Amino acid sequence: MDVRLDGRVALITGSSRGIGLAIAQQMAASGASVMISSRKAETLEAAVTTLGERGAWFVANAGDPDDAAACVEATITRFGRIDILVNNAATNPYMGKTIDIDRPRLDKTISVNWAAPLMWTQLAWQAWMQDHGGTVLNIASIGGLSVETTIGAYNATKAALLHLTRTLAAELAPGVRVNSIAPGLVKTDMARALWERGEEAIARTLPMHRLGEPEDIARAATFLCSDAASWITGTNLVVDGGALL
């Protein structure tokens, strides 16, 4: 099956590195024009060179409403449309029992991991998708499907994102499809503290005997945003090497 995105425009949050950049690279290779965004210009400048002529970048803090609106407007100005929105940006400022989290870090986690995907989807809907259709993909986590006592606040926001995905899929159909991916442990900088010291031991516990790579998520993301998945909406695709088994 040849999965192509020719003529499409994708906007991806949190995409200067890791899973977000891998999705941008895969979508560009599949024919899409791609706007990448994150908080730091220097990392975006380096990242966009890997996308060739199909890439552009815009500095935006995913949790800032003004930044989000400016980025959506910049995407429309640069490419004329937004066919695909990938809500990938996430944060985890707190590790520990949920019962002990302080309010500022809780608010930040909720703002970036749940409120921001809703806000960016609203903006993309209002700017383009309401009249022209499109696809929204939320990057969640298998943490939203399980319980861990060391990262519970983060996982709760991902569980909420999974529910938001289904809600928006029902509300925005039939013109806009909304799906999510729940990655397992992927070798990214954000997750480095979880895997770097014990990669081999963790891999042995997984049925596939390896940790995930950003490209594993990127291929699934490109499929879900393509016409090959045109009858899929409101669905969460687990990509975890069998971890939940």
* Residue 25, domain member (yes or no): yes
* Residue 244, domain member (yes or no): no
* Residue 122, domain member (yes or no): yes
Looking at residue 196, what is its pLDDT? 64
**Taking 70 as the threshold, does the pLDDT of residue 49 lie above it?**
yes
Do residues 122 and 70 touch, judged by C-beta distance below 8 A? no
Q: How many domains is the chain built from?
A: 1
**Taking 90 as the threshold, does the pLDDT of residue 145 lie above it?**
yes
Structure-token match 């703002």, residue found: 111
Q: What burial class does residue 67 get, using C-beta atoms within 10 Å of its C-beta: 0-12 exposed, 13-18 middle, 19+ buried?
A: middle
Q: What is the mean pLDDT of residues 87-101?
A: 96
Q: From the candidates 74, 154, 157, 160, which is the catalytic residue?
A: 154
* Residue 89, domain member (yes or no): yes
Query: Which pTM does this prediction carry?
Result: 0.96
Dist. CA 227–CA 222, nearest whole Å: 10
**Taking 70 as the threshold, does the pLDDT of residue 203 lie above it?**
yes
Q: How confident is the model at residue 195 (pLDDT cuts 50, 70, 90)?
A: low
Task: Look up the CATH number of the domain holding residue 105.
Answer: 3.40.50.720
**Taking 70 as the threshold, does the pLDDT of residue 10 lie above it?**
yes
| Range list of β-strands (E), 23-168 | 33-38, 55-59, 84-87, 134-139
* Residue 191, domain member (yes or no): no
Q: What is the mean pLDDT of residues 124-141?
A: 98
* Residue 172, domain member (yes or no): yes
Looking at residue 43, what is its pLDDT? 96
* Residue 23, domain member (yes or no): yes
The range of the structural domain enclosing residue 52 comes to 9-184+213-239
Q: What is the mean pLDDT of residues 168-174?
A: 98
**Residue 94 annotated among the catalytic residues of the structure:** no
What single DSSP character describes residue 107?
H
SS3 content of the chain, % helix, strand, coil (to 5): 50, 15, 35
Looking at residue 106, what is its pLDDT? 98
* Residue 58, domain member (yes or no): yes
**131 membership: H or E segment, kind and range:** helix 130-132
